[in-house]
Amino acid sequence: MSNHEYSTQPDRDWTRRMADAEDRCTGVLAGGLASDVGLLRSGDQMSPRVFGQLIEFARRSRGLTPEQLASNADIELSELVAIERDEDFVPTPRSVFNLARELRLAAGKLMELSGLAERRDQTLSQAALRFAARSEPSAKLTKAEREAFEEFVKVLVEASDGG
């Protein structure tokens, strides 16, 4: 039971006046600051290479081709390939978010790994380093990787012969 005369729904003059005031004043936010919690890129970020590797491994561990993952995650195949292969490529936040959803990974951590968000989680940094150390040069190629590699080399040779 209310102990006052005011209604949750004010008159329309009140509503319109406050709507106009919101427009003039940018916003109504109360809470915590972005710069302190951070979806902000900073110079202190992890290697995008690790991010690309992680996406590739997550995809492969689920038995998905790049085409399937790109389709399921609703991103361009070219962007997925760039994410996996091009360490200078900066993915879009939407793509990172969609990949996180599709691969069932934590979106916030993926944003950190991709370099789109400020690094905050030291455990994640260490895990990324371990992952990078174990997954890079020493890993042998699987049969499929070797076949793909050989096919690519063959194309390169043919192109070279043609030119």
Partner 1 sequence: MSSERVEIVRRHDDAFVEAELLEGVRPEDLALVERAWGPSRLEIYEALLKAGVPRNRWPESLHWDWTKKAPDLKLLAASGFGIVCEKKWQGLLLAKTAGHQAALSPDRSKPLVYVDYIETAPWNWRIDAIGQAGEWRAVGSLLFRKAVLLSLDEGFRGRLGLHALPQAERYYTDACGMTAVGRDGAKQNLMYFEYTAEQAKRFLDGKGGNA
Note the residues at the interface with partner 1 (CB under 8 A): 2-4, 6, 8-40, 92-94, 96-97, 107-108
Which own/partner contact pairs does 31-39 have at CB distance under 8 Å and 24+ positions apart? 38/117, 38/118, 38/120, 39/111, 39/116, 39/117, 39/118
Cβ proximity to partner 1: between 28 and 159 the closer is: 28
Residue 64 in contact with residue 70, Cβ under 8 Å? no
- Please answer whether residues 76 and 67 qualify as being in contact, where contact means their C-beta atoms are separated by less than 8 angstroms: no
**Minimum separation from the CB atom of position 125 to partner 1 (A):** 19
Minimum distance from residue 69 beta carbon to partner 1 (Å) = 18
Considering the complex, what minimum distance in angstroms separates the CB of residue 37 from partner 1?
5
Q: Residue 120 or residue 130: which is nearer to partner 1 going by CB? A: 120
Dist. CA 145–CA 128, nearest whole Å: 23
**Minimal distance in Å, beta carbon 40 to partner 1?**
7
Nearest residue (CB) to partner 1, 74 versus 151: 74
Identify which of residues 69 and 100 has a Cβ nearer to partner 1 in the complex: 100
